[in-house]
Amino acid sequence: CSRLHNRPTISPTLLLPNLYQNPALNAPPGPDGLPMPVDARKSQEHFEDFYEDIFEEMDKYGQIEHLNVCDNLADHMVGNVYIKFVDEDAAARALQGLTGRFYAGRPIMIEFSPVTDFREATCR
C-alpha cells in the first residue's frame, strides 16, 4: 500500500505481503495480447491449496483467530495474507519461524500488522 502505515513492534496480527500469486496474474498472453482466461475450477483449487498450506504452517505456532488472503488482481494489497493469532506470542513465534524462508520459490516477507479488527480495517 502507498499509504504511510504504522508498523507495530508487536501485534497478534501478521502481514505477509504479496504472498498469494493469483494464477490470473501469471496467465500467458493469448493471440490478442491479453492474458488467457484461467479455468475457474483450477483457480479455486489453487487458492484452496494455498490457504491450506498457510493455515497448516501457521497453526504450528499457535491458535489462529483469522486468516485472510487477498485474492485481488489490482495492485493495492495484491496477494496480501493477514493472520491474526489469539495471542501476540504466537505471532512473534511465527514471525521468527518464517523469516528467511521461501514459499513456492519466492522469499517470504513478514511483518507485524496493526490490524486487529478486519471489519474495520482500512488504509488511512
Partner 1 sequence: PPRERRRRERKSGFDQPPPGGIVPGMMGAMGVPAALPPGMPGVEAISVAAAVA
Chain positions contacting partner 1, by CB under 8 A? 17-18, 45, 48-50, 52-53, 56-57, 99-107, 109-110
> Within the chain, what is the greatest distance between any pair of CA atoms?
52
How far is 36 from 39, CA to CA, in rounded Å? 10
Min dist CB 122 to partner 1, Å, is 22
10 or 104: whose CB is closer to partner 1? 104
**What is the closest distance, in whole angstroms, from the C-beta atom of residue 16 to partner 1 in the complex?**
11
Q: Which is nearer to partner 1, 18 or 63 (CB)?
A: 18
Dihedral sign from CA coordinates of 3, 4, 8, 9: positive
The H or E element spanning position 111 is strand 111-113
Where does the chain have alpha helices with state H?
Answer: 40-58, 88-98
CB of 75 to partner 1, least distance (A): 11
Query: Taking the mean position of all CA atoms in its chain, how far away is CA 37?
Result: 23
Query: From the CB of 95, what's the least distance to partner 1, in Å?
Result: 9
The identity of residue 105, as a single letter, is G
Match 483469522 to its residue by C-alpha cell.
Answer: 66
Which residue, 21 or 116, has its beta carbon nearer to partner 1?
A: 21
